[in-house]
Copies of this chain bind each other. A is one copy, B any other.
């Protein structure tokens, strides 16, 4: 039997205020860089208390829609910083107990595509960034954290070089999840360092020469190696990723 009434939805004032401001931002009525009215003024406009406005502002600040430059007092509308967004996503993924296999499969879908696009569209600057990441990896031989950071930086550089911000923002959260895994792996599988360096060099070369298929296939091989390393390290693929 169908109920006669729907459950009534309650919208606290702080949420309504947040939504109102968010709408103005999404609809570009407030644009990045614009200063937000003062809390007191907003409270007056919305007809609520300043405390309520503050709670709303915290929400938007968390979403990265509001922020301020260092040392500034007044809040301004800002574009959400990609790192901020992706760290939220990776935290959510980690809490959902995703496994290495989940992560790997998704990387396997995204990274080769990014590599191919990078080979197609990279600028000289992108190439320099890739080279720098490769250098860092080579330089950080024994230093595991630095090694891992360099690998992540390399992936990020490929994503940037792809010229596709959607791809980059989709890929970024995976990098953060990769860190703890990779740290463990490069320690447990000594030969992985050399294989990673080889793959990175090959990818850089392919991207420099704008050879799309070559870049893609090297990236595939590179990522397949991760799984292999994981297996060699003796860790079940179903182990949950932790941040």
Contact = CB atoms under 8 A, between A and B. Distances in A.
Interface of A: 7, 14, 25-26, 32, 51, 54-56, 58-59, 61-65, 70-71, 79-80, 82, 85, 88-89, 91-96, 98, 101-103, 105-106, 108-110, 112-114, 117, 164-167, 169-170, 173-174, 177, 243
B14 A93 contact: no
A7 B71 CA distance: 10
Identify the interface centre among A14, A71, A85, A243: most chain B CB within 10 Å of its CB.
A85
Contacts of A89: 85, 89, 169
Given A102-B166, A164-B106, A64 B92 contact: yes
B166 A98 contact: yes
B59 A80 contact: no
Identify the interface centre among A64, A98, A108, A166: most chain B CB within 10 Å of its CB.
A166
19 contacts: A25-B95, A26-B243, A32-B95, A51-B51, A56-B58, A59-B61, A64-B92, A80-B91, A80-B95, A80-B96, A82-B92, A85-B88, A85-B89, A85-B92, A92-B169, A106-B170, A109-B109, A109-B113, A170-B173
B85 A63 contact: no
How many copies of this kind of chain does the complex include? Answer: 2
A114 B58 CA distance: 36
Contact of A113 (B7, B95, B105, B167): B105
Q: Is the interface of A mostly helix, strand, loop or mixed?
A: helix
Nearest to A80: B92
Identify the interface centre among A95, A167, A243: most chain B CB within 10 Å of its CB.
A95
A86 to B, nearest CB: 8
